[in-house]
Amino acid sequence: MRFKLALLHWLQAEGRNFDLRRRPRVAQPRKKPIPRADSDAGRSGRPRASALGKASFFYTIIYIALAVFSYGFIDPNFPYKAPRALHRLIYYQRPLTTIIYIIVVGGLFCLYGWVLKGVKRRKLNSKKIWKLVFLSVVVLFFAFPAFSYDIFNYIATAKVAFFYRENPYLVMPIEFVGEPMLEFMHAANKITLYGPFWILLTGLPHSLINNLFLNVFSFKALVVAFYLGLSYLIWRLSKKSAFSLAFFALNPLVVLETLVSSHNDVVMMFFALLGLYLLIQGKRPLSFLSLLASIGIKYATLALVPIFFLSSRLKKEQITILSFWALFLVFCLAPFREEIYPWYVIWLISFAALVPERRFIFWLTIALSLGTLGRYLPFLYTRSWEGMTPMVKWWVTVLPPVIVALAFFKANFSREVSKR
Amino acid sequence: MWLKGVKGVVLGLFLLSITPRIVLADSAYVLPYPGLMPGNKLYKIEQAFDRLYRPWVFGNFSRHKYELGLADKKLVEAKILFEYQQYLLAVRALTDSDRHFQKAVYYLDQAEKEGKDISQKTTNLQAAAGKHREVLQRLKEQLPEEFIWRPEKGEATELNLKLILEEAMRIREI
């Protein structure tokens, strides 16, 4: 008996919640301290690593690993060569590459879940999320655009327009005989797919630097600036919600496709959400101008035009939800043009972040983020876009959202049954 | 005996007629579908669109492509009009094609002056010129040398088709 009491005292002193079912509690359990976002002290009073500290530590490790890993993806024909060990890893040790990718993406999703939970439990506030966002930017800015060659299409398009002074809607990069970029570009035989406003914007990073390797980073800087701008807009539109900020800015898909691969979808969404922000402010002409700028980046936000026109009859939440579904429709129609690309999910995450209380939208977005990032797996494993790759890509994209939809259907069905 | 010889000649001619004809002069360059033809209600709208599209085309390569595209289109238009004996309209289309072809050559020269490598474009232009000449040569063989176009109302127009076609072929000699 005395031994058990001593053990109980010791456990309570260690701050563990111990439940004695048979016997009454000898000592009153301590009141659970209200978690504070800025608290650095443990229950025992000893200083412990804060939630931010832990998150920063793990994020830094994963991001550095990702940044190093990304340099292995440098094309063998690129003027600057990848370190030999990394090149061998990516091109010849494909199972290991696939495992590393799974660990990195899995790690990012685990951290993402942990951060979102931390925000919900008020362990992490907006300031701390912003710190994590800036950490992501600082480390991943130096990553090589590993999983997509679109940044080189942006650079080539800017070169066609501003260096060769040709219309990129009529002339393809491949038409310039002797152009050094042709050796490693993957879509040199295409005219530009992007809007005129995007081409105008790329004039800035193009004119700043006249070196291909540094140009990658000047273009990355442009995308990163809009990533920060979009994160800020989401934060403002959600009434400075740390959860919305974290939901968007730390989403692994957003991080990988924006900070690593530098897709311009954040630029398009920045202007779309700026339009929404101006619409809420009652500045309709400016909001339409902003939407026009967004359409001038990548056309997908053309689907938002009817919603903007009907906005006077709608509440902010309704506009957001309708915008989400309008872009989801465009997302679903993507295979008719080419295919569903992972970075298209950024369109959905941008609006989903404004209505995180909508459970179905929330989980659907998470499922799509996870699923579409899985689309890289078969290519990493086989280094081929043919064979089993299309089938695996289809399944990994479709399965997670279907599971989410079925789970919600089952939950609703059970609720209906229990009501009756 | 002589009957056997005749049979041999006939058989030979028959075999020659069924074997695929090899035309070494044929160019691999493919001419486009001409689109709307004069007489169509939308023809003028298409013409206006082509003109409105013009300012969008900047850069010497872009302009070269645009002008060559129009030269091709107008040539096919002229060919069809000649075949339907709409000689006046056909001559107008051919004159347009000549003008666009000359502009295509001009913009390619300008691109070269800018320091752009025009080797691929020149090869393509030569192929286009070859195909154009091929079409024009066939037309020259089929059409009368001169034709007087008499509309129901208005004055007659004398068309020296041989001269017009020879001039068009000369323009396309690169």
Contact A165/B59, CB-based, under 8 Å? Answer: yes
Interface of B with A in 42-81 (CB under 8 A): 56-62, 65-66
Q: Smallest Cα–Cα separation from A368: which of A336, A344, A338?
A: A344
The pLDDT, as a whole number, for residue A6 is 54
Distance from CA of B172 to the nearest CA of A (A): 23
Q: What is chain B's mean pLDDT, rounded?
A: 84
The pLDDT, as a whole number, for residue A72 is 93
> Chain A residues with CB inside 8 Å of B66's CB?
170
> Chain B residues with CB inside 8 Å of A175's CB?
61, 120-121
Picking from B54, B56, B61, B70 by the largest number of A CB atoms within 10 A of its own CB, the best residue to mutate is B61
Residue from the list A167, A175, A176 with its beta carbon closest to the beta carbon of B57: A167
> Chain B residues with CB inside 8 Å of A164's CB?
59, 61, 116
Q: What percent of chain A has pLDDT over 90?
A: 69
Examine the pLDDT at B6 and tell me if it is beyond 60.
no
Contact A177/B65, CB-based, under 8 Å? Answer: no
Residue from the list A165, A167, A175 with its beta carbon closest to the beta carbon of B120: A175
Contact B62/A170, CB-based, under 8 Å? Answer: yes
The answer to whether B86 faces chain A, any CB pair under 8 Å, is no
Between CA A387 and CA A136 the distance in angstroms is 35
Cβ neighbours around B5 below 10 Å, total: 9
Contact B117/A176, CB-based, under 8 Å? Answer: yes
Cβ contacts from A onto B, under 8 A: 36
> Chain B residues with CB inside 8 Å of A200's CB?
none
Min mean pLDDT across A174-188, A262-276, A336-350 is at: A174-188
Mean pLDDT of B1-17: 53
Q: Smallest Cα–Cα separation from B147: which of B156, B138, B134?
A: B156
Give the range with max mean pLDDT: A48-57, A70-79, A201-210, A263-272. Answer: A263-272
Between CA A129 and CA A289 the distance in angstroms is 31
Q: Where are the alpha helices (DSSP H) in chain B?
A: 2-18, 43-53, 60-83, 87-113, 119-142, 161-171
pLDDT band at A11 (very low <50, low <70, confident <90, very high): very low
Examine the pLDDT at B21 and tell me if it is beyond 70.
no
pLDDT band at B12 (very low <50, low <70, confident <90, very high): low
Residue from the list A167, A177, A178 with its beta carbon closest to the beta carbon of B59: A167
Q: Which residue has the tokens 């959400």?
A: A273
> Chain B residues with CB inside 8 Å of A178's CB?
117
Concatenate the DSSP letters of all residues of A128-183 into one string.
HHHHHHHHHHHHHTTS---S--HHHHHHHHHIIIIIS---TTT--GGGSTT-GGGG
